[in-house]
């Protein structure tokens, strides 16, 4: 079940306002260009920011997400008509792929790879992605390094913020760090709307080690080609570059 921040029709449109800084994406666009794929799958595409950027380069782009409210936001963006939008989680991709040609490259950015908390769910996600990639195609994704302890930075730096949302008015967002019981870290966003109504979104992420992640990739039929540092966040992220087997 996607978090309310992405699945609630009132909260999903707020994401692009409160998380407008996507300075992480140019590095991923450059990384994707290294492999020159014709067909790119954005897994957990959310509101479609990366997918729409990819589509401007003339590629065939498929954006998939289990949160329908986020897809509705994505579908309204300029250039969205060039993209195929699939209402599906990673594990369910083969079920909705139909007669489409397999993807050359799949990518997960942000926290997508960390929302799969149970081992079985993560394995199913990897196998679902593998099922729609061509043999020799690539899966690229990032995951936060647990040793960096990013949740401590979140708690220290995420001050309450109020933004003027078109058609809504001023909305305040507050962050609260919840339980930290590694490998799981929980947190909550609270949104206060004009008139005082409050909606909340609870999230939990799993912080896997590099070794654990590599083992699960191999078991799911991927070869780990390399593990890079995120150029815009040195020391904080592992960027896994993998190839699907035959």
Q: Is the pLDDT of residue 69 over 80?
A: yes
Q: How far apart are CA 133 and CA 195, in angstroms?
A: 48
What element of type H or E holds 151? Answer: helix 150-157
DSSP H or E segment with residue 6:
helix 4-7
Q: How confident is the model at residue 121 (pLDDT cuts 50, 70, 90)?
A: very high
Which residue(s) pair with 229 in the sheet? 238
Q: How far apart are CA 65 and CA 217, in angstroms?
A: 21
At 144-176, the pLDDT tens digits run 999 999 999 999 999 999 999 999 999 999 999
Region 36-55: mean pLDDT is 96
Tell the residue number behind the tokens 């509705």, with chain if given.
Answer: 72
Local structure of 148: helix, strand or coil: helix
Q: Each residue of 189-232: pLDDT tens digit?
A: 999 999 999 999 999 999 999 999 999 999 999 999 999 998 88
Domain positions in the chain are 4-145+209-244, 148-205
198-206 and 184-192 strand pairing = antiparallel
- C-alpha–C-alpha distance, residues 105 and 33, integer Å: 11
Q: How far apart are CA 24 and CA 27, in angstroms?
A: 6
Distance of alpha carbon 8 from alpha carbon 16, whole angstroms: 14
For residue 222, list its beta bridge partners. 244
Q: Where are the beta strands (DSSP E) in 22-148?
A: 39-43, 60-65, 83-87, 103-108, 133-144
Instruction: Round to whole Å and give the CA distance between 5 and 11.
Output: 5
Average pLDDT over residues 35-53: 96
User: Confidence band (pLDDT; 50, 70, 90) for 57?
Assistant: confident
pLDDT of residue 21: 78
**In this predicted structure, what is the pLDDT of residue 203?**
97
Across all residues in the chain, what is the average pLDDT? Answer: 95
114 closest CA partner among 88, 146, 157: 146
Segment 184-188 long-range contacts (CB within 8 Å, at least 24 positions apart): 184/117, 185/151, 187/151, 187/154
Is the CATH code 3.30.750.24 the one for domain 4-145+209-244?
no
- Judging by beta carbons within 10 Å of its beta carbon (0-12, 13-18, 19+), is residue 70 exposed, middle or buried? buried
Please provide residue 228's backbone torsions phi and psi, each rounded to the nearest 5 degrees: -100, 165
Q: Are 103 and 38 in contact, with CB atoms under 8 Å apart?
A: no
pLDDT of residue 23: 78
Cα–Cα distance for residue pair 74/83, rounded to 1 Å: 10
Confidence band (pLDDT; 50, 70, 90) for 56? Answer: confident
User: Is the predicted pLDDT of residue 246 greater than 80, yes or no?
Assistant: no
In percent, the amount of the chain with pLDDT more than 90 equals 89
DSSP state string for 30-45: HHHHHH--SEEEEET-
pLDDT over 90 (residue 234): no
């Amino acid at each position: 079940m996607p978090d309310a921040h992405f699945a609630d029709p009132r909260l999903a449109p707020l994401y692009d306002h409160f998380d407008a800084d996507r300075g992480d994406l140019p590095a991923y666009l450059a990384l994707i260009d290294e492999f020159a794929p014709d067909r790119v799958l954005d897994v957990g595409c959310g509101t479609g920011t990366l997918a729409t950027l990819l589509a401007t380069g003339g590629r065939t782009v498929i954006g998939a997400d289990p949160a329908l409210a986020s897809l509705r936001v994505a579908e309204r963006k300029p250039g969205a008509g060039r993209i195929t939008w699939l209402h599906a989680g990673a594990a369910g991709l083969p079920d909705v792929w139909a007669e489409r040609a397999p993807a050359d490259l799949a990518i997960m950015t942000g926290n997508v790879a960390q929302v799969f908390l149970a081992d079985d769910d993560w394995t199913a996600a990897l196998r679902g992605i593998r099922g729609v990639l061509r043999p020799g195609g690539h899966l690229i994704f990032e995951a936060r390094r647990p040793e960096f302890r990013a949740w401590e930075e979140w708690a220290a730096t995420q001050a309450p913020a109020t933004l003027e949302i078109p058609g809504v008015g001023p909305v305040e967002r507050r962050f609260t760090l919840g339980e930290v019981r590694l490998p799981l870290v929980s947190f909550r966003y609270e949104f206060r709307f004009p008139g005082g109504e409050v909606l909340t979104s609870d999230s939990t992420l799993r912080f896997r080690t590099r070794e654990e992640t590599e083992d699960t990739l191999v078991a799911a039929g991927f070869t780990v080609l390399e593990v890079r540092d995120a150029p815009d966040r040195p020391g904080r992220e592992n960027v896994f570059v993998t190839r699907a087997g035959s």
